[in-house]
């Protein structure tokens, strides 16, 4: 792994074009531009595609008037109604490796990389799964075995499995509307927001090392972005390489991505894998398709271990119990969180990768459907937009099957 400060950093504030003020790029008025231009005003590392690109077949269907029932009001909608009402930048629906429908809102195109927010977490956990399959990473080992800098922090005693399933005892607030919450202080540490609070570390790893714990590790589910950033440093520690390079070699190239992705980094190149990856919509569908094909790419090349896919679907014996014990509302009664994915309903093979402001990968194994949506909701979280989008993809999936 290159020494701190010597990694391949693309972008930076010096080259920032005439765009939103730095303290407003995540505000509603600028978010659509910002999320499609991250590398133009913040430093990133490339997640490079390889020479091989896997291809989708084309099997166009008119999904526009597929009927959708609002999940709690019972209102009658159509698929197009939902997409129009949920600040959609682009959506895609695939079935068995064929593109059924796809649409983009100007200026986004098939080749536009868009910030994924916390969908990044699912890419990162999958990269960890690939390393586990190769014997390079052990989910049962302590975090500090791979990241000694966290040995004296609240992460002491936490395992890699605790990170992957969001079950550490780290004290961390994910309240996006609280300027003093740790999730917002993290952005100051990596340089995504102006520094407003004294004492915040000036690197991502330094910030993680400053966190404490408020309960034992391995208990209830508690969604915390810091967990996936810690996992990113575990990936780097296990391989001795920059995280973007590892994701490229173990996930992006093997799955046959069509375009380079990128991940935001801090001042010394520390990767923000909790929400800093940008990628194209079709490459998200390629990623989701791995979970229909027992870990294989569209052309059959193995990418993720089949046991990792099975473990994701099955969960631990207490995954649903831990999820039900969450303090923050999940809007998913009977669901679970496993290996970076949300399972919104009990007894269902439908699962999701989710990010704030409306980012989603939808996988419906019984219907053989993978869909994805990239959005710019004006607020970070919106239960109505989230659940109506899931309802629209459910309706499309069952109409196709």
Q: How many percent of the chain have pLDDT more than 90?
A: 92
The pLDDT tens digits of the residues spanning 294-324 come to 999 999 999 999 999 999 999 999 999 999 9
Total domains present in the chain: 1
Examine residue 314 and state whether it is found in any structural domain, yes or no.
yes
Q: What is the pLDDT of residue 20?
A: 85
Q: Whole-prediction pTM value? A: 0.95
Examine residue 238 and state whether it is found in any structural domain, yes or no.
yes
| CATH label of the domain that carries residue 188 | 3.40.710.10
Residue 129 sits in which domain range? 48-400
The pLDDT tens digits of the residues spanning 192-242 come to 999 998 899 999 999 999 999 999 999 999 999 999 999 999 999 999 999
Tokens found for residue 72 = 């709690």
Examine residue 367 and state whether it is found in any structural domain, yes or no.
yes
**Helices 182-190 & 226-239, crossing angle to 10 degrees?**
40
Is the preceding omega at residue 107 within 30 degrees of 0, hence cis?
Answer: yes
Q: What is the pLDDT of residue 18?
A: 52
- Indicate the burial class of 62 (C-beta count within 10 angstroms; 0-12, 13-18, 19 or more): exposed
Examine residue 369 and state whether it is found in any structural domain, yes or no.
yes
Measured between alpha carbons, how far is 370 from 96 in angstroms, rounded to an integer?
8
Residues 6+ apart with CB under 8 A from 250: 127, 130, 131, 134
Examine residue 254 and state whether it is found in any structural domain, yes or no.
yes
Q: What is the pLDDT of residue 348?
A: 79
Which stretches of the chain score pLDDT less than 50? Answer: 1-17
Examine residue 180 and state whether it is found in any structural domain, yes or no.
yes
Closest residue by Cα to residue 365 from 309, 307, 311, 300: 309
Examine residue 354 and state whether it is found in any structural domain, yes or no.
yes
Examine residue 2 and state whether it is found in any structural domain, yes or no.
no
């Amino acid at each position: 792994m290159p020494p701190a400060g010597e990694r391949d950093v693309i972008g930076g504030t010096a080259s920032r074009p005439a765009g939103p003020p730095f303290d407003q790029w995540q505000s509603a008025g600028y978010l659509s531009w910002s999320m499609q231009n991250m590398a133009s005003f913040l430093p990133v590392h490339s997640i490079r595609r390889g020479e091989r690109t896997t291809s989708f077949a084309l099997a166009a269907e008119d999904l526009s008037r597929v009927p959708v029932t609002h999940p709690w009001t019972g209102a009658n909608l159509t698929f197009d109604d939902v997409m129009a009402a949920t600040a959609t930048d682009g959506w895609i629906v695939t079935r068995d490796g064929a593109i059924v429908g796809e649409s983009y809102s100007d200026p986004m195109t098939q080749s536009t990389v868009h910030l994924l927010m916390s969908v990044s977490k699912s890419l990162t956990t999958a990269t960890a799964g690939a390393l586990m399959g190769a014997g390079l990473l052990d989910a049962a080992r302590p975090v500090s075995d791979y990241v000694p800098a966290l040995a004296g922090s609240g992460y002491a005693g936490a395992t890699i499995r605790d990170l992957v399933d969001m079950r550490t005892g780290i004290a961390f607030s994910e309240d996006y509307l609280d300027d003093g919450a740790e999730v917002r202080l993290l952005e100051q540490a990596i340089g995504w927001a102006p520094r407003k609070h004294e004492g915040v570390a000036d690197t991502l790893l330094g910030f993680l090392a400053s966190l404490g714990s408020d309960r034992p590790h391995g208990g209830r589910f508690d969604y915390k972005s810091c967990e996936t950033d810690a996992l990113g440093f575990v990936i780097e520690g296990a391989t001795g390489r920059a995280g973007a390079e590892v994701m490229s070699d173990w996930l992006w190239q093997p799955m046959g991505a069509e375009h380079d992705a990128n991940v935001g980094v801090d001042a010394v190149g520390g990767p923000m894998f909790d929400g800093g990856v940008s990628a194209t919509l079709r490459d998200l569908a390629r990623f989701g398709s791995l979970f229909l094909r027992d870990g294989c790419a569209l052309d059959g090349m193995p990418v993720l271990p089949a046991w990792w896919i099975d473990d994701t679907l099955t969960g631990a014996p207490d995954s649903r119990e831990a999820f039900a014990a969450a303090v923050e509302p999940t809007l998913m009664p009977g669901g679970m969180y496993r290996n970076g994915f949300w399972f919104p309903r009990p007894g269902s093979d439908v699962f999701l990768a989710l990010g704030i402001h409306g980012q989603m990968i939808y996988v419906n194994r019984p219907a053989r459907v993978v869909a994805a949506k990239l959005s710019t909701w004006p607020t970070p979280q919106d239960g109505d937009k989230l659940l109506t989008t899931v309802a629209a993809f459910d309706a499309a999936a069952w109409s196709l099957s």
